[in-house]
Amino acid sequence: MPTMLEVTGLGHRYRSKDGEHIALDGLSFDVNAGELVCIVGPSGCGKSTLLRSISGLIRPTSGQVRLHGDVVDGVPSDLAVVFQDYSRSLFPWLSVQRNVEFPLKKSLDKAERRERARQALEQVGLAGAAGKYPWQLSGGMQQRVAIARALAYRPALLLMDEPFASVDAQTRFDLEDLLLRVRREYDTTILLVTHDIDESVYLGDRVVVLSKSPARVVRTLDVDLPAQRDQITTRESEAFVALRSEVARLLHGQPAGDAPTGNGRPSAGRAPAKGKTGTASSAGSTAASSAGSSSGSSEKAASAKAQPSRNGQAANRNRGKGNGAKSRRRGRARR
């Protein structure tokens, strides 16, 4: 599979009147076309900063992001973002159908937009809610609308910033399975950020583990689970349990075990990152217990507000239907 996204030596430091804060420190990793790569890291480590840099919303202070080989310098037109805060990413005054159609306005005529939105809503199980308004829907349904909008846009790369962190556990499971299904159907390339270790292993073809702030790549792990996953048997499997333990160890800064490793880049952290201090604030399945409570939250919300207009430059691309995760992994170039 060709490389879709190349992140090389990415660094970002915020400057304010209180001084400097290094958020990202020399991150390198690749995402191949058709892959679902999860980024997992402790709360406040810089995950949202990473996604903002990749999406061109902020300019990194060092390093480079390339999409299809082109340096990202501004928001690419064939990229969509789904944020955690669904309530602020949908337009409350537009119907569900209109919300999904919104990013397609510039590229498709009315009939095509309608049809594209209808298909996407059907994919996420919301065909019957097209005429409703976001505020008439549950949180999980609103997040489905946000996913439908991103899918209708047919982005080359879908970025997801803790997309299921604001919904209850059962809805989260449902949305995870929905994502795996639509990802197979649309053959979408996805980079998903989460602080939830189990989620990263359940969803990912690979998991990139970040250290605590400033974010560095501690390790990239191959997720050698069957492409077809389900919430009970997959999570009970030995391979799943071994992988989640491995990710937890890495987040706690402990030496790695025998779980499979792999990524595109030597610098992406086969060896532990310098100052290997990655940690989690609590034991268990989350890398941190306070996601969303950092000072980054308000900026996240601001970014969420900007989402519809970012998606406004729709790219009308028809892409081929999917190879499975297995074949994607087989085809993955190693360096």
Ligand X SMILES: Nc1ncnc2c1ncn2[C@@H]1O[C@H](COP(=O)(O)OP(=O)(O)OP(=O)(O)O)[C@@H](O)[C@H]1O
Site for ligand X in 16-45 (CB under 6 A): 16, 21, 23, 41, 43-45
Nearest to 103 by CA among 310, 311, 315: 311
Determine phi and psi for 244, rounding to 5 degrees.
-65, -35
Whole-number minimum distance, CB 9 to ligand X, in Å?
Answer: 18
Q: Which of 144, 149, 195, 328 binds ligand X (CB under 6 A)?
A: 195
Any idea what DSSP says for residue 323?
A: P
Determine phi and psi for 22, rounding to 5 degrees.
-85, 115
Closer CB to ligand X, residue 195 or residue 219?
195
Rounded Cα distance between 282 and 287, Å, is 7
Closer CB to ligand X, residue 33 or residue 57?
57
Q: Which two tokens stand for residue 290?
A: 């306070």
Q: Which of 46, 60, 163, 278 binds ligand X (CB under 6 A)?
A: 46
Does 212 sit near ligand X (CB under 6 A)? no
Whole-number minimum distance, CB 139 to ligand X, in Å?
Answer: 18
Determine phi and psi for 219, rounding to 5 degrees.
-170, 150
- Three-class DSSP category at 15: strand
Rounded Cα distance between 144 and 124, Å, is 6
Any idea what DSSP says for residue 310?
A: H
Does 213 sit near ligand X (CB under 6 A)? yes
Closer CB to ligand X, residue 83 or residue 173?
83
Closer CB to ligand X, residue 195 or residue 229?
195
Closer CB to ligand X, residue 49 or residue 311?
49
Whole-number minimum distance, CB 22 to ligand X, in Å?
Answer: 8
Which residue minimizes CB distance to ligand X?
296
Closer CB to ligand X, residue 292 or residue 308?
292
Rounded Cα distance between 155 and 279, Å, is 33
Closer CB to ligand X, residue 51 or residue 268?
51
Whole-number minimum distance, CB 284 to ligand X, in Å?
Answer: 16
Site for ligand X in 49-68 (CB under 6 A): 49
Closer CB to ligand X, residue 58 or residue 239?
58
Using CB under 6 A as the binding criterion, the count of chain residues that bind ligand X stands at: 20
- Three-class DSSP category at 210: strand
- Three-class DSSP category at 159: strand
Any idea what DSSP says for residue 266?
A: G
Rounded Cα distance between 22 and 11, Å, is 8
Whole-number minimum distance, CB 193 to ligand X, in Å?
Answer: 7
For 122, the enclosing helix (H) or strand (E) is helix 110-123
Closer CB to ligand X, residue 200 or residue 213?
213
At position 49, the amino acid (one-letter code) is T
Does 103 sit near ligand X (CB under 6 A)? no
Q: Which of 28, 48, 194, 211 binds ligand X (CB under 6 A)?
A: 48
Contacts of 302 (CB under 8 A, 6+ apart): none
Nearest to 76 by CA among 58, 56, 95, 62: 56
Q: Is the dihedral of CA 241, 1, 104, 120 positive or negative?
A: negative
Of 47-55, 87-95, 176-184, 271-279, the window that binds ligand X (rule: CB under 6 A) is 47-55
Site for ligand X in 271-310 (CB under 6 A): 291-292, 294-296, 299
Chain residues in the site for ligand X (CB under 6 A): 14, 16, 21, 23, 41, 43-49, 195, 213, 291-292, 294-296, 299
